[in-house]
Amino acid sequence: MLLALLPSQAPFRVDQVMAAPGLMAGLFGLQVLLAGVLSWSGSRRSWRCWWLAAAALLGVTALFFALGSWGTSDVTKLSVWFAVAPGRGTEGEPFWHLVGPLIPHLPYRMAAVHGLVAAGYGLAAILLARHWQRPAWAGWWCLFLTASPMLRGFLQNGQSRQAMALLLLLPLMLRAARLVRLPWGLVGGATAWSALTHTTFPVNLLFALLPGLVSRDGRDRAVGVPRRRWLWLLLPALIAVLLMAWLGPMALQKLSTYATQMSFFSHYAVRREVLLLQAAMALAVVLACRQRGLGPRQLVACPRSRVLGLFALLYLALQVSVEWEWWPQITFRLADGVGLFLLISFLAWLRHYRAEWLLLPALAVTLIYWFDDRILPSGGFRCGQDDTFLCIPDRWPGLVRY
């Protein structure tokens, strides 16, 4: 009887929402301001100011996405289900069964979780900038990821669980692509956590491992892997095999359901703003090649160029699948994950060739899209009649009726 009262199709919420373009524009403007403070303090090596600005930027990012995701379908239904029907909608995802009892006690429930996931994306960008000794770019890299139209499904449609699963596989991707030498214990732990977070883990794991096919150079092949490291490689591999054996049947069942029973898909991956972003990124690569005198032979010989090319081609293949409707109900769900790895590979490529300033055209496309196509039109959204990102709660958490 109770399950019959739960929402089963959009719109999932018909009240307790409002449009607030002024508030959301102010919060995002504050993110831009804090990114500028990070740039100023990073260039002057004022580390106390830098860390304080980074913490403030992540806090505002979490608040922005928590409020903005309140009116989206996935966040709304999970906020109800975690309280009255634990386990519903998260079959094969033990992590959410474990933390499920805690979520109803958070302010705005699943929306708060989504805000933390979005802040996690920003944190990844900031930590990479610090590790790669580009602290002045940390804030801009954070905005480049969290506001990217390539990650619209993850961060603007409230797909918190899959977004978190891909973020947890980022250490594995960075290690496989030889971009960061992370400890194998951290990589294995994050990978196992990802496996418990979303049933798309087998496909996500494949995407994270693919850079290993193209990132090795002659010196890597000559040196090989020291014997003492084989144990650290074998343990994560064994864990991955066990998790694949456990999750494989559920993932195949879900894949079959999407392929045979569902026809819904979005065109987010082929929207105008994504194509403009791709053009800006391609322009940056061309200009950097001219600046550094790089030709096709040098690019093919460069492991970072091969990794960037791999994800660029893979993302293009998913775009073709969506545009020509070849299993789009499946492939559109994979585009954000590949988009994340593509954006990270692009940042790593610019850093490798010391061409960070060429990020500016792509960053400008991202910010203009965010203000003109997302925040400013939000005043005209039919909040209360549709489930839309940037329709925020119209009351404090303690006054919400679920």
Residue 201, domain member (yes or no): yes
Confidence of residue 381 (pLDDT cuts 50, 70, 90): confident
How far does CA 154 lie from the centroid of its chain?
6
Residue 45, domain member (yes or no): yes
Asked if the bond preceding 11 is cis, omega within 30° of 0, the reply is yes
Per-residue pLDDT tens digits for 6-61? 455 555 666 788 999 999 999 999 999 999 999 999 999 999 999 999 999 999 99
- Residue 20 CB coordination number (10 Å): 20
Per-residue pLDDT tens digits for 291-311? 988 888 999 999 999 999 999
pLDDT at 4 over 60: no
Residue 1, domain member (yes or no): no
> For residue 290, with 0-12 CB atoms within 10 Å meaning exposed, 13-18 middle and 19 or more buried, which class applies?
exposed
Query: What residue numbers bound the domain in which 65 lies?
Result: 15-218+233-399
Tell me what the pLDDT averaged over the chain comes to.
Answer: 86
Please report the DSSP string for 275-307 in residue order: HHHHHHHHHHHHHHHHHHT--HHHHHH-HHHHH
Query: Can you name the residues that pair with 386 across neighbouring β-strands?
Result: 383
Residue 181, domain member (yes or no): yes
Q: pTM of the full predicted structure?
A: 0.89
CB neighbour burial string for 35-68, b if at least 16 within 10 angstroms, e if fewer? bebbbebbeeeeeeebeebbebbbebbbbbbbbb
Q: What does DSSP assign to residue 359?
A: G
Residue 353, domain member (yes or no): yes
In the chain, what is the straight-line distance between the N-terminal and C-terminal CA atoms, in Å?
17
Residue 150, domain member (yes or no): yes
Residue 338, domain member (yes or no): yes
Residue 95, domain member (yes or no): yes
> For residue 109, with 0-12 CB atoms within 10 Å meaning exposed, 13-18 middle and 19 or more buried, which class applies?
buried
Q: What is the count of structural domains for the chain?
A: 1
Task: Sort strands 391-393 and 17-19 into parallel, antiparallel or unpaired.
Answer: antiparallel
